[in-house]
Amino acid sequence: MKQFTDISKIIHREGYIFIVIFAATTFLLASFSSTLGWIGFIATAWCAYFFRNPDRYTPTDENLVVSPGDGVVTSIMEASPPAELALGDEEMLRISVFLNVFDVHVNRIPVGGKVTALHYHPGKFFNASLDKASIHNERQSVLIETKEGIKVICVQIAGLIARRIVCDLEEGEEVKTGQRYGIIRFGSRMDVYLPRKTVPLVCVGQRAIGGETIFANFKSSKVAAPKFEMR
């Protein structure tokens, strides 16, 4: 029997309705003008491209922290964790990744463990590349505790034109490094908070690939030939 590819592995389900709307609008525009039809076709193609959901090769070492999303590392600094998680004011190492409208927006778990807290915080929609976005913008915070008891925070942050954050996780859920867990529409930022003394393995300005680019190694500041698994 012929096997068919699951469309959700190509396009994230959040994109279905938008692609249909863009396509229907394109047909309508084409009935008035071929030029408008071509513009609509390009817009529809971009919409499908935006919601793409590619597989990734994720390192299997449980001590490695990977990027939760595609984009550019815009900041590496010490900062207090999101106040809504009630973890106190002790600063952690925060790595921020800015996702533009051409990046993959499917978000991935940075490190395996157990989801111990989830918190949605309504807020504003400043440009996600600005530092104040971590504090003032709408966001979804996820607290993960590894098997070794290390606390890692992953935050989905809405951007200037983003108006929906999707998080498919549940409190108490066991998660794996690189696992898909949500998406942000359209243009956004991901923050990862790690223990303060963690040595970052990326630098500001570097492009990161969600589920693949290694942010840190809890056992060593050097990464030695990690093994990978498609996710």
Residues 168-202: tens digit of each pLDDT? 999 999 999 999 999 887 668 899 999 999 999 99
Both 120 and 43 in one domain: the answer is no
Contact by Cβ (8 Å): 204, 68 = no
Residue identified by tokens 């012929």 is 2
Tens-of-pLDDT digits for all 231 residues of the chain?
Answer: 344 455 556 877 777 887 888 889 888 988 888 888 899 889 888 888 878 888 899 988 889 999 999 999 999 999 999 988 989 889 999 999 999 888 888 999 999 999 999 999 886 655 555 566 566 678 899 999 999 999 999 999 886 665 678 899 999 999 999 999 998 876 688 999 999 999 999 999 999 999 999 999 998 755 555 666 777
The enclosing domain of 110 has a CATH number of 2.70.70
Query: Which positions ≥6 away from 140 have C-beta within 8 Å?
Result: 118, 119, 120, 121, 155, 156, 165, 167, 182
Both 29 and 62 in one domain: the answer is no
Q: In one letter, which amino acid is 197?
A: K
Both 40 and 67 in one domain: the answer is no
Of the residues 134, 188, 220, 221, only one is catalytic, namely 188
Please tell me the distance from the alpha carbon of residue 17 to that of residue 74, in angstroms, as a whole number. Answer: 32
pLDDT value, residue 1: 37
Both 42 and 133 in one domain: the answer is no
Note down the domain range covering 45: 7-50
Both 158 and 94 in one domain: the answer is yes
pLDDT value, residue 130: 57
This prediction has a pTM of: 0.82
Both 145 and 212 in one domain: the answer is yes
pLDDT value, residue 228: 67
Please tell me the distance from the alpha carbon of residue 165 to that of residue 14, in angstroms, as a whole number. Answer: 10
In a domain, 161, yes or no: yes
Both 63 and 17 in one domain: the answer is no
C-alpha angle 197-112-185 in degrees, rounded to nearest 5: 95
Phi first, then psi, for residue 27 (nearest 5°) are -60, -40
Both 99 and 213 in one domain: the answer is yes
Instruction: Count CB atoms within 10 A of the CB of residue 76.
Output: 15
Both 30 and 80 in one domain: the answer is no
Two tokens at 112?
Answer: 């395996």
Please tell me the distance from the alpha carbon of residue 171 to that of residue 117, in angstroms, as a whole number. Answer: 6
Contact by Cβ (8 Å): 196, 92 = yes
Is residue 67 part of the annotated active site? The answer reads no
pLDDT value, residue 116: 95
Both 17 and 101 in one domain: the answer is no
Structural domains of the chain, count: 2
DSSP per residue over 73-85, as a string? Answer: EEEEEEEPPPGGG
pLDDT value, residue 217: 93
DSSP per residue over 106-136, as a string? Answer: EEE-SS-EEEEEEEEE--B---TTSTTHHHH
